[in-house]
Amino acid sequence: MEQAPRIPERYTLIEEVGQGGMAVVYRAQDETLKREVAIKVLHQHLAGEPESRARLEREAQAVAKLRHDNILEIFDYSGLDSATAYIVTEFIDGQTLKQFLNTRTLGFPEIAALISGEVCRALAHAHAAGVIHRDVKPENVMIRKDGLIKLMDFGIAQILDFQRMTVTGQLLGSPAYMAPEIIEGKQVDLRTDVFSVGIMLYLLATGALPFAGKNPHEVLRRITDGKFADPRTVKHGVDQVLARMIGRALARRPDDRYPEVALLADDLGAYLAEAGLHDARAELRLYFADPAAYEAALPQRLAAALTESAAVHLAAGRRVKALELWNRVLAFDPDNAVVVAALRRLEGRRRLRTAAAALGIAALLGGVGSAVVRRVHGRLVRPALSLAAPPAPSPIAPAVTTTATGSDGTASHRAEPPGAHLSRARDSRAMLDHEPAGRGGAAIRTFTLGPTPQNVDVYLDGHRQFGYDPDHTTIAVSWKADHVIEFRSPTGCCFVERVEVGPNHPLPSDAIIARRLKWRPAHLLITTEPSSGSARVMVRDLNRQVTPTAGHPGEEIDVPFFADDDASKEIEVAVDTGELFATEKIRVRAGERSRHVVKLRAGAN
């Protein structure tokens, strides 16, 4: 512990519990109120700087306005005239979200939504009081031992009803979580915090930051460019619904984002409610008590709740929403029997509706034909038999008279062979219901698609048809010839997955084509400082007991990705020249070529 700071006698310091760039945090006892507190003390070398003191005061003033279960409560503040600059807050027995994420990756996007929803609620309360946080990140989110989420560190908060305070040439905040308007020196507002929450939600859901780089400058440039990988390609299980929320929160232009964080909280709440997770705090209490056990039980819970929600939407005629929910199940359970059966029933009903429409059109055409006969000739002409209950064809059935109207308005009559009207009915039904006029398979087949990852383009016979999403989940093909359906990743992360269909191939079970695309290897080129072409490079997968891949600087090394990997993963690179040595952990993405410079040092690891 550093030399004890000079603070009022009512506080007894117990231990140092953390350090930041500006302050040291102590656990202490408030002897007057007999409770544990946390005391954040400005570093001695900063205590004389007016801006550092102003920032601490700004934090005290911001948090003093707020009373919310998800916001760290402030009890006391030293004031500007005190020799020691400090604030006293409630003591949180727990860890930061950053510390938690250093030990594990969240297994399901629903858990990311639970945590982010609590942060959104804290921010919504702050925004209602006119306070913008401006530094939302996992380091500033505490997890109490009972699972309660606490947002803290309002040190660079902007209080909207105070005069704006800036520092010339200085960016306040963490580069990886900054909104474009902060980087560009534009006015910030409530939507600035929405952007930071979007980055955190992306990180929690995928395990990777949307904007990353080798240095802060590169990170800031990528943020201002507004380009990031679709989260569905980064982590298995991230679905279209959550991806849309992330995309809206991370919009480059503030006008394209959620106008307020409360609306993002509402969308996250609805997303969780559809999955049966109605009480976020209760769920997080269970999760943080035993993350492994919680995640082991979660798939069964999610599947049951999502399929039940899908059934409700389907009964209300919201077919696209039902498909969206089924896709969420298929994202973590591609062979779910309940969803497969539901999709089969949905396809069956679609065919029945189409058949009924065809029969109605054929009957209407028959009625129009008989009406023309009556009008033109003033006499009754035997109409076609009802298609609703057609009689069985008979070799002695009488001929049926039909009428054709010529260009001059006159009508001619011809006799059709027995049963011809039935053939016409079958032809009409086939045209609308994709059923064949003759024997054999259907003239058109419709397949329900289920690719993983879901961010794929669908091709038919080499031509792009559409990008897969909840509105585009089926594809119809002619059954007169064989075809090739392809799933192609627009990001290049995966090998193309091809499926051959047609009369010469077995029909996919239940007309569902579900495929998991195989990851392409990452391609890594290592160089060293100082340069050493003879050094030995070893690349090791940190999560697998597999033989490391060997190579040399300047050579491209393939890093294999396995079926259960995510689209990016952390690997260890070791470089050894015999005299110089270094090891580093870096992150690579499937299918992506990247370069990395390893700085060598003397001595062994």
Does residue 106 contact residue 138 with C-beta atoms inside 8 Å? no
> Using an 8 Å Cβ cutoff, are 211 and 199 in contact?
yes
Say how many CA atoms lie within 13 Å of 357 toward its Cβ.
Answer: 11
How many whole angstroms separate alpha carbon 287 and alpha carbon 306? 20
**CA-wise closest residue to 571 among 587, 556, 583:** 587
Residues found in the chain: 605
Exposed, middle or buried, 227 (CB in 10 Å: 0-12/13-18/19+)? exposed
Asked if the bond preceding 530 is cis, omega within 30° of 0, the reply is yes
Q: Which amino acid is at 65?
A: K
End-to-end CA, the chain = 29
135 as an active site residue: the answer is: yes
DSSP state of 490: T
From 135, 153, 230, 566, the catalytic residue:
135
Cβ atoms 526, 565 nearer than 8 A = no
The owner of tokens 């039940």 is: 308
Q: Exposed e or buried b for every residue in 196-213, given b needs 16+ CB within 10 A?
A: bbbbbbbbbbbbbbbbee
Which tokens sit at 59?
A: 């934090």
DSSP string, 370-417: HHHHHHHHSS--PPPPPSSSPPPP-TTPPPEEEEEE-TTS-EEEEEEP
d(CA 103, CA 506): 47
- How far apart are the C-alpha atoms of 567 and 582, rounded to whole Å? 26
Q: And the tokens for 270?
A: 């609805």
Two structure tokens written together for 496: 């193309």
Whether the CB-CB separation of 399 and 393 falls below 8 Å is answered with no
Q: Which residues are part of the catalytic machinery?
A: 135
